[in-house]
Amino acid sequence: LESQFLRAQRLESLGTLAGGIAHDLNNILTPILSAAQLLQLKRSPSEEWSQQMYRTIESNCKRGAALVKQVLHFARGVEGKRSIVVINHLFLEIEQIINSTFPKSIEFSSDINPNLWAVIGDATHLHQVLMNLTVNARDAMPNGGSLTISAKNFLVDEQYARMNLEASIGPYIVITVADTGIGMSPEILDRIFEPFFTTKEVGKGTGLGLSTVRGIIKSHGGFINVHSEIGKGTEFKLFVPAVETMATSLAENVELPNGNRE
Ligand code: ADP
C-alpha cells in the first residue's frame, strides 16, 4: 500500500514537472520564433534593429538552456558523489560569490565554526543548496537587509527523534540561512517545495530551486525546517547527518578554495 502511495506521488510530481517544462519552454520559444520570423520578413533591416533581434534570440536561448539544465539536474535525481565535505570550506566559497555578486545593500555574515563535524556527501550538490537558498534570500530583500549563514553541531537524542519523524538518533550539522526580507504567508510556505512553484515574475524564477534543495538534503538523509514571517524574514534550517569528528583533522589534504592547503 505504501509503495502504491509513493508511486502515485511520484507520478503526480512527474506530471507537474512535465507540465511545467512544457509551459516554460513554450514561453521561451515563442519570442525566439517571433524574432526569427521578423528577421526574415524585414527586407532591409537596419544594423541596430538586427542587433536587437539577435539579442532577443540569444538571451532567450540562454534562458532555455539554463532551464533545461535545471530540469535535468532535478530529474536526474541526486545520486551525488560521496566524500568528506567540510562545511566551512563551502561557506568560504559562498562568501566569495556573495561578496562579488550580491548588491552592497545586503549585509552578509557567516559564522565559521572550527569544531564543526563533517558531512559525508556531495560537495557540489551542497554548494548548489547554499547558492539556491542565498539567491532566494537576496531576491527577498530588494531594498537590502541582512543575510546570515551559520552552522553548528547538533546531536539528535531519543526524545528529539520521537518528536521529529524525519530525524534519527545521532550527530547532525544544522546549517542556517536567514534573511530579513519580505517573508512568506502560510499559503506560500505550504507550497515552496513543489516543483515549478514560484511567485517570481516570468524569467526570474523557475520554481525548481527549493525542490532541488529538498531533493539534495533528502539524499543526504537530512531534513529541513523553515520559519518565515511576513515583513520580518525567513530562516531555513538544514539538518544533515554528520560524522562526529573534527572536520579539520579529517580533511588534511583537502584543497581550500584559494588553492592553499590547510
Ligand atoms: P524560485 O526562486 O525560482 O521562485 P524556489 O523553489 O527557489 O523557486 O522558491 C519558490 C518560492 O518560494 C519563491 O518564488 C518565493 O515565493 C518563495 N521563497 C523562497 N525563498 C524565500 C525567501 N528567502 N523569502 C521569501 N520567499 C521565499
pLDDT in tens, 67-79: 777 776 665 555 6
For ligand 1, atom 17, the nearest C-alpha belongs to: 192
Round to whole Å and give the CA distance between 173 and 176. Answer: 10
Round to whole Å and give the CA distance between 197 and 14. Answer: 14
Choosing from 13, 143, 192, 206 the residue with most ligand 1 atoms within 8 A of its CB, the one to mutate for a pocket test is 192
**What ipTM was predicted for this assembly?**
0.98
Residue 184 Cβ < 6 Å to ligand 1: yes
Q: Is pLDDT above 50 for 133? A: yes
Residue 179 Cβ < 6 Å to ligand 1: yes
Mean pLDDT of the chain: 83
Q: With contact defined as beta carbons under 8 Å apart, do 262 and 252 qualify? A: yes
Q: With contact defined as beta carbons under 8 Å apart, do 232 and 183 qualify? A: yes
Q: Is pLDDT above 90 for 8? A: no
Residue 68 dihedral angles phi and psi, to the nearest 5° = -60, -40
Q: Which residue has the higher pLDDT, 108 or 244?
A: 108
Nearest to 118 by CA among 91, 144, 83, 148: 83
Q: Is pLDDT above 90 for 2? A: no
- pLDDT score at 156: 94
Residue 207 CA, closest ligand 1 atom number: 8
- pLDDT score at 205: 82
- pLDDT score at 223: 95
Taking the model in full, what pTM does it have?
A: 0.74
Tell me the mean pLDDT in the region 236-259.
66
